[in-house]
A and B are shown apart, each in its own frame.
Chain A
Amino acid sequence: MSDASPEIRFVAKNMRLDLRLIAEMIAPDARVLDIGCGDGALIEYLIRDKGADARGIEIDMAEATEAVAAGLPVIHGDADADLAFYPDGAFDYVVLSRTLQAVERPREVLRQMLRIGRYAIVSFPNFGHWHLRWRLLTTGRMPDNETWDRPWYETPNIHPCTIRDFFALCAQDGYVVERWLAVDDKGLGTPWKRSPWLANLFGEQGLFLLRRG
């Protein structure tokens, strides 16, 4: 073998922190689909370090191409259009990180995730965070921070929700919340896990592990 073997681009410690939290939820040797996988950092880690059969879908062509060029099984596609084509129970885990708020039909995407996967792992920016509430209350303007960094008329985040909204949707559609946590914007776990009310006020992001009821 020549020395042209692919270089290792990511190690776990360089991975986005919320992806590390997601990776910790995934059992070894699992079949995983990562929707909105970006350049494939999570699936590369899962394949190399957890023996997973991990695959990805990415809507951004440049990112999808990067992932494929790194030898990763990633398709250019999107959550709204492509999930319907996978068979029932094809995966152990289906991951949707920081993407739920940007899809066209979030409820249908969740339904598809739990049709093709045994577990769904979902993270999203919490629109109920006190800072957003404060800004809306005091200035009357849409929020403007790291997550909500584009004006309302061009943000891709067309379906924002709060952590409590998400609990309500899970209850309505009969999904079991196996685990959940609120994290700050660096993806570190925060100690609000006993109280959805507090988490909804102080958590920047919600991270949920769901299964069918």
Chain B
Amino acid sequence: MNEALAPFQRLEHQRVLFADGLALDCGAVVAPLAVAYRAYGTLNAAKSNAVLICHALTGDQYVAEPNPLTGKPGWWDTVVGPGRPIDTDRYFVICANVLGGCMGSSGPAEPKPDGSGLWGTDFPSVTIRDMVRAQKRLVEHLGIDRLMAVVGGSMGGMQVLEWAATYPEMVVAAAPIATATYHSAQNIAFHEVGRAAIHGDPDWKGGRYWEDGGIPAKGLSVARMVAHITYLSEAALGRKFGRRLRGASALTFLEDVFEVESYLRYQGSTFIRRFDANSYLTITRAMDFFDLAAEHGGDVAAAFRGTKTRFLVASFNSDWLFPTQESRALVRALNAAAANVSFVEIATDKGHDAFLLDEPVFHRALGGFLRGAAAKAGV
């Protein structure tokens, strides 16, 4: 790994500060509360065309423009933009960096209010619902009473569900994609491998690596490598790499032998330049804690009883991180709550990552669902 590469950098981001802070589920208060965000399109006079996008674990607010850290296109560039399914010519699109994130919102990578350095591992434990509460502060700050839609995949989908369950009167339409109402034991297990890699890296220094400007590069990159496997599928890895060798001359275990190995190492090495390790620990924990049924007496349907929100649930048939059966269970709970719900399972071999990629059938379904929601909201 090339240590000369600049590790994670903190940049200036567009953000709002709420001096009174935010009370969290764990009982702590984060004050002031910073919410970094980006917005695209124009809010109409009736303020009825706002669409909130919730990003996934390692996403950020730069949905539809080049990312200032990596220079790469926005992470949902194919979905959000003029004439795209989430059409910035028609809708006012907002995306906020999650609470606990490392792109300008309050989180472990931000300075502590008492001036004693960064929050680091002192940053309180956050939940998906805390993230949603922080987003609600931003939405209200922008003068918006009701969101035409809340859309997100993976951890973003968890936030969508939490939005619809916690603030149903504010959500006309909700699209939880490639997600579930709770984080499964298997998913928690994979997260724990990632966290163990970070904790086990001597450069993590008990979470105080920021004091001397270093980062737990090895641990964070291994965390990313194992997570990245869960985002793909056996079929996609086989299609892209198969068992192709990188020309290793002898039987060896000391260097990259297979192409899939060097691909994963590359994924790990680029990730450490754009993500903070303590943020990764905080956010993976928030996902692990997520269990919508537990918040509503053990019954997901109870979270949505009487809801007027329209739902689009979408899953991908090769996604083994958030498999279709979990989306179908959500659909059945929504039916039990007599909610208005659409559901499609998209055929693809791209695994969990498919929700971020070029999937025309999914894009048509999402676009059509949002046009229906826009008609209902009078946009």
Contacts and interface: CB of A to CB of B under 8 A. Distances in A.
Interface of A: 1-2, 4-6, 53, 55, 61, 64-65, 67-77, 82, 85-87, 90
Contacts of B369: 68-69, 71
B331 A75 contact: yes
B265 interface: no
Given A1-B90, A55-B341, A85-B336, 9 more contacts: A4-B90, A65-B361, A68-B342, A69-B368, A69-B369, A71-B375, A73-B310, A73-B342, A76-B344
A65 B344 contact: yes
A28 B278 CA distance: 57
A94 to B, nearest CB: 13
Contacts of A87: 336, 338
A71 B372 contact: yes
10 contacts: A55-B340, A61-B345, A69-B369, A71-B368, A71-B369, A71-B375, A72-B342, A72-B372, A73-B342, A86-B336
Interface in B307-362: 310, 312-313, 328, 331-333, 335-336, 338, 340-347, 361
Given A61-B344, A76-B343, A82 B310 contact: no
B337 to A, nearest CB: 8
Interface of B: 87, 89-90, 310, 312-313, 328, 331-333, 335-336, 338, 340-347, 361, 364-365, 367-369, 371-373, 375, 379
A86 B369 CA distance: 22
A48 to B, nearest CB: 11
A67 B312 CA distance: 12
B329 to A, nearest CB: 9
A5 B373 CA distance: 11
Given A65-B365, A69-B368, A77-B343, A6 B375 contact: yes
Given A69-B364, A69-B367, A87-B336, A74 B375 contact: no
Interface centre among B312, B313, B361, B368 (most CB of A within 10 A): B368
B90 A64 contact: no
Contacts of B379: 1
A23 B220 CA distance: 60
Contacts of A77: 328, 331, 343
A65 B364 contact: yes
Contacts of A72: 342, 372
A82 B335 CA distance: 9
Nearest to B317: A61
B345 A86 contact: no
Contacts of A64: 343-344
A75 B375 contact: no
Given A2-B90, A5-B375, A73 B340 contact: yes
A55 B338 CA distance: 11
Contacts of B336: 85-87
Given A68-B312, A68-B342, A68-B365, A82 B332 contact: yes
Nearest to B324: A76
Contacts of A70: 368, 372
A11 to B, nearest CB: 18
Nearest to B329: A85
B82 to A, nearest CB: 10
Given A65-B361, A65-B364, A65-B365, A90 B342 contact: no
A85 B89 CA distance: 39
Contacts of B367: 69
Interface centre among B340, B342, B346, B373 (most CB of A within 10 A): B342
A82 B379 CA distance: 33
Contacts of B368: 6, 68-71
Contacts of B89: 2, 4
Contacts of A2: 89-90
A6 to B, nearest CB: 5
Nearest to B313: A75
A208 to B, nearest CB: 25
B90 A74 contact: no
A110 B224 CA distance: 51
Contacts of B310: 73
A61 B316 CA distance: 12
A75 B341 contact: yes
A88 to B, nearest CB: 10
Closest 10 CB pairs of A and B: A71-B372, A69-B368, A75-B343, A85-B332, A69-B364, A68-B365, A68-B342, A85-B335, A71-B368, A90-B338
Nearest to A55: B340
A75 B324 CA distance: 13
Contact of B338 (A6, A68, A69, A86): A86
Contacts of A85: 332-333, 335-336
A76 B345 contact: yes
Nearest to A65: B344
A4 B375 contact: no
A115 B373 CA distance: 30
